Structure 1
Amino acid sequence: MPAQTVRDLSITATIQRGIVIAQIDGTIDSVSSDELLLKLRTAIANGHVRIVGDMSGVQHTSSVGLRALLGAVKAARRSGGDLRLARVPPSLEKVLEMSGFTTIFRLYDDVDSALASYDA
């Protein structure tokens, strides 16, 4: 899957062991969140319901960005899959904790751990 860039957001998706790894870089805000949600929902609609979001390159997310991630995880779970987040920067993890999203998302230190969690 080719990289897509919207303003200050780049999304590169690859497939490993049948799981989509979405490398997300930049800022997830009101301008870019729609593209992120569209990309993830398209993967889900195409049968790729197991997704790992590599968040290591995310510099900032707004509340609209959090809603986009929430929409994606709900869509994946409705389809029998999940969206798991890996390599979450400390600043983003703090936002996820303060908003209560750490009870919704499964967070992993690295992509390999997130991939392996689908086998457990």
Structure 2
Amino acid sequence: MEKDQIRDKDIQYVIGNLLRYGVWIALGVAALGGLIYLFRHDQEIVHYGSFVEQDINIFVLIREMFQDVSKGKGESVILLGIMLLFLTPILRIIFSLIAFLFEKDYLYVGITLIVIGIICFSVFFGFAH
């Protein structure tokens, strides 16, 4: 019984650190992107008169984001930080799935797979309108 308690505490420790460091990394990336953006666009005048809504595929958005991050564009670095922030709890769910598989707790494996399925469905088939 002692071995299971240590394993549960270890899993909780890793999950806690995953969330903690994931948020800090996302914050650091977004802040870096904000600094890049401010240094490159500090003299621009912002026009708030129009907003153009774009209907874009998530895969296209991610590809363009990484291309622009490699070019050092601040907007894309900020977007990468936001994506990392969204990914942090998803990685926690995936890690929990792996932990439940090791513990052979198949009820929670099933529940976690349902949650992952709902997240994937909403990301890939969700409507903005």
TM-score w.r.t. the length of structure 1 is 0.28
Q: Which of the pair is proportionally richer in helix?
A: 2
Q: In terms of Rg, which structure is larger? A: 2
Higher strand fraction (1 or 2): 1
Q: TM-score, normalised on structure 2?
A: 0.26
